[in-house]
Amino acid sequence: MDIFLYNTLSRTKERLVPLVPGQIGIYTCGPTVYNYAHIGNLRTFLFEDLLVRMLRLCGLNTTWVMNITDVGHLTSDEDQGDDKMAIAAQREGKDPWAIAEFYTQAFLSDIDQLNIARPGFLPRATDHIQEMIAINRTLEEKGYTYTTPEALYFDTSKFSDYGKLARLRLDELKVAARDDVNVDRGKRGPADFVLWFSNKPNHIMKWESPWGVGYPGWHIECSAMSMKYLGETFDIHCGGNDHINIHHTNEIAQSECCTGHTFANIWMHTAFLTLGRDKMSKSSGGFLTVKVLTDSGYDPLAYRYLCLQAHYRSELELKWIWDDESAKTGHAANLDTAAATLKRLYERVARADDEPLSIQVAFDAAVVDVFGALADDLNVPRAVGLLHSYDSPRLWRHFDAVLGLKLEERAVKTEEVAVDVPEDIQALVDERQAARKAKDFARSDVIRTQLAELGWELADTPQGAKVTRK
């Protein structure tokens, strides 16, 4: 079956044509390890995991590379401010290497908890400094750079295709605020960006280079690591949609000017996870991590299920409410619903394998149908909707290779689940659970009474609320 993916470059869905038949190379921008990943970052990584799983289920031999940014990412993506690693080192009284190691391990633990497969390659930026210097040298030899006492810059005016990903026009870009003391006065064009920060003797993470002792710009890291592991041209490059205008635009410029040919064929971008009206950002503090979810009593896979319900190009709002001022725990109605649905799914999947599909379609035809949704720009919400309508444990298990909900492992094999609880009754039970979680005990009591009136008795057991007929 053909796979169609939305390419930000062309703003259309394109048929995926692997560069090498049967194989896919995919690069995804990884975490900057100066803090815990927030669950918005993880939404993007989770989408990338779904994409890789879908490609693999389709039989494509997929090489997945995700970098670890452990140097050079400044507080502003436009080369201003301080290195995020240095700020974290100061905040925690450690050296940046220890910060990087600690948050890399935390990141790996987070992705494991969300059942995100480990990428085949997880290269660290600091292990690839020589590769970055080599690209910078080529760019310099080809005349794409200039230097100031502060840095080696990429001269965007030399690359006529500079705006092709973001649909930017260089002549429309505002000149950076020249009176800002942080702006390098030697920088020529507003979009020009740093390939190497020179003259940084006080920076702890620093290396010798032809442009002085210093450290690499952030964008060059991704060009160096992607091309090292996937070749000069590869199939798919992903990231959050905040990276279109600067980071990915700059990756394309420096890579294509260095090699003289296309960098990545398809560019895919995730929309943000939002908390109410606030976009979630790691640098603004008060962000939601996997640990906050688990401390609040949530199964991380409930968050995974919630993410499956929104298309990756649509924003997803988590209706999160912090429990108190200390902001250590909280709850969200849509996450409660996701948790309840997932729990029911574990019970459903435990039932007989040989159950016929609820609507009369053969297994193979149903597989084609669900796969059709996945192959249509990874329409996971539609695939999940179809799976619910087929209501077949076997089909769910088959597609769990993509969904990653651990359906097999967690299938609940209890007698009680064999008792059929009508959907409307179960919905009330779930709503009561959510009310209890939100400490809305008045609402919870009202629901209990309502259930009693409908002839159902409710008991709270260590395995959760159970209803039986009176």
Tokens of 448: 């209990």
Backbone angles phi, psi at 164, to 5 degrees: -65, -30
Residue count at the site for Zn ion (CB under 5 A)?
2
Element (H, E) at 403: helix 393-403
Q: What gap in Å lies between CA 110 and CA 40, rounded to an integer?
A: 12
Q: Are 115 and 301 in contact (CB under 8 A)?
A: yes
User: Cβ closer to ligand AMP: 48 or 400?
Assistant: 48
Q: How far is the CB of 287 from ligand AMP (least distance, A)?
A: 9
State the minimum distance, in angstroms, from the CB of residue 264 to Zn ion.
11
Nearest Cα to Cα of residue 182 among 69, 76, 89, 283: 76
Residue span binding ligand AMP (CB under 6 A) among the ranges 37-45, 190-198, 355-363, 441-449:
37-45
Name the nearest CA neighbour of 84 among 109, 103, 57, 106: 103
Decide if residue 220 touches ligand AMP (CB under 6 A): no
DSSP 172-226: GSPPP-TT-TTS-TT--STT-EEEEE-S-TT-SS-B--TT-SBEE-HHHHHHHHH
Q: How many CB atoms lie within 10 A of CB 166?
A: 16
Complex with ligand AMP: residue 212 or 239, whichever CB lies closer: 239
| Interface map 248-287 toward ligand AMP (x if CB under 6 A) | ----------------------x-xx-----xx-x-----
Which positions from 199 through 238 interact with Zn ion, judged by CB under 5 A?
222
Nearer to ligand AMP by Cβ, of 78 and 347: the residue is: 78
Among 8, 25, 36, 44, binds ligand AMP (CB under 6 A): 44
SS3 of residue 370 by DSSP? helix
**Cα gap 153→130, rounded to integer Å:** 17
Secondary element (H or E) of residue 445: helix 441-453
- Residue 244 beta carbon to ligand AMP: minimum distance, rounded to whole angstroms: 9
Locate 93 and state its tokens: 């009284």
Residues 25-54 touching Zn ion, rule: CB under 5 A, are: 29
Told to check if 40 binds ligand AMP by CB under 6 A, we report yes
Task: Give me the least distance between CB of 374 and Zn ion, in Å please.
Answer: 25
Q: How far is the CB of 255 from Zn ion (least distance, A)?
A: 11
Whether 214 contacts 200, CB under 8 Å: yes
Asked if residue 41 binds ligand AMP (CB under 6 A), the reply is: yes
**Binding site partner of 413, from ligand AMP, Zn ion, none, Cβ cut-off 5-8 A by kind:** none
- Which residues in this chain contact Zn ion in the complex, by CB under 5 A? 29, 222
- Which residues in this chain contact ligand AMP in the complex, by CB under 6 A? 29, 31-32, 40-41, 43-44, 69, 239-240, 242-243, 270, 272-273, 279-280, 282
